[in-house]
Amino acid sequence: MADAFDPNGVGVKGSLFGLPFSPDEADIVVIPVPWDVTVSYKEGTALAPQQVLEASSQIDYEIPGRSKLYQTKVALSEIPEMWLYKDEDLRPLAADYINWLERGQIIDEADEMYVRLDTINAECAQLMDYVEQITLDWQARGKRTILLGGDHSTPLGHIRACAAAFPHFGLLQIDAHADLRNSYEGFTYSHASIMHNVLQEQPDMKLIQVGIRDYCEEERLVMDHQSHRIVTFFDDELKAEKFEGVLWKDQCTRILTALPEYVYISLDIDGLDPKLCPATGTPVPGGLEFQEIVYLLSQLKASGKKIIGADLCEVGVGMDDWDANVGARMLWQLVHCL
C-alpha cells in the first residue's frame, strides 16, 4: 500500500496522519495512553488519542526546507481499551474524592474517601509500569517512541524507558505549569506531580522548563532549592524580554545551552496560548505561539543534540475538532524533531 500512496490525495482514514504504515512497519511508534483520572479541573484528555488520530489524517505533510516527509514511517499503536475502561471507572471516584477535599474533608466520609484514594494510586502505579513495559517492548524492536496522552501524569513510564540507556539527560518541559507538587491532592501520580516524580526517579537528570506561568509556593521553593538541576524560563520573563527587544532566537539559544547532549521533550499542550488549546484540562492565559514552539524544536534539532524520546499531553476534547487539530499538528512537529 505504501508504494501506491499519493501524498497529494486523500489520507488513509484511521491511520496516523493518513500515512500507510502499520506499527510493525514504522520507525517511530506513537504510544497512546487514554487516561485522565487525577485531573483537577476539566476532564476529557483521556479521549485525546482517538481525537488526535481522527484529526491527523487531514493535515498536509510539507515543512519549509524539507521534502518528502510523507515517507516518514510513523504509526500509532493500538489504543488500549482496558485502560480507557479503567479511566471511565476510576474518574468518578477521583472526582468525588476531589469534591470531598473541596468541601472541607468531612470526617464521617474520610474512611471511604481514603479507600478510593488508595485504589486510584494503586491503579495509577500499574499504568506507569504498563507504559514503561510497552515502551521497552517497542524499543527492543528497533522503534523510536513518542507518548500521546492523556493527562500529563501519563509519560512517567515512558520517560523511565527512554532514560534507561541515557541517565545523564535533560528534560525539556514546555508547559504552563511547573508540575513539581508532591502528590497533589493525595494522588501520587497526579498530573501536577509528573516533574516531581521524574526528578525523584532520575537523579542525574536536568530539567529545563519553558513557558511556566502557573505555580505555587511549594513549587517555587523546589525550583530555588534545586537550581543546580532545574532551570525555569518563566513566561512572564520571556515576554518582558521580548517587549524590550530580545529576539526569540536569542531566548531559544539560552534554552538550548542549558540542555545537555541527550534530551527528552515533554510537551504539555497548555504551554501554548489557550486560544490554540481552549479545551485543555487547565488552560492559563499567556503562553507560546505555535510557531514559537516549532522554531524552538527546529533549533533543537539543528543543534545536534540527541533526542531520546518525547510526549504530547493534555490535548482537550472540545465542541469542535480545534484542539485535536492543533494537537495533531504539534505531534507532526515532534515526529520530525525526532
Give the pLDDT band of residue 7 (cuts 50, 70, 90): confident
Q: What is the pLDDT of residue 3?
A: 65
pLDDT tens, residue by residue, 26-37: 999 999 999 999
Region class of 325: left (phi > 0), else alpha (psi between -120 and 50), else beta: alpha
| Better pLDDT: 146 or 58 | 146
Please report the DSSP string for 146-205 in residue order. EEEESSTTTTHHHHHHHHTT-SS-EEEEE-SB----SSGGG-TT-GGGHHHHHHHH-TT-
0.75 surpassed by pTM = yes
Sketch the domain layout of the chain as residue ranges: 16-81+130-337
| Better pLDDT: 3 or 197 | 197
Average pLDDT over residues 102-118: 89
CATH number belonging to domain 16-81+130-337: 3.40.800.10
| Better pLDDT: 5 or 289 | 289
pLDDT at 11 over 80: no
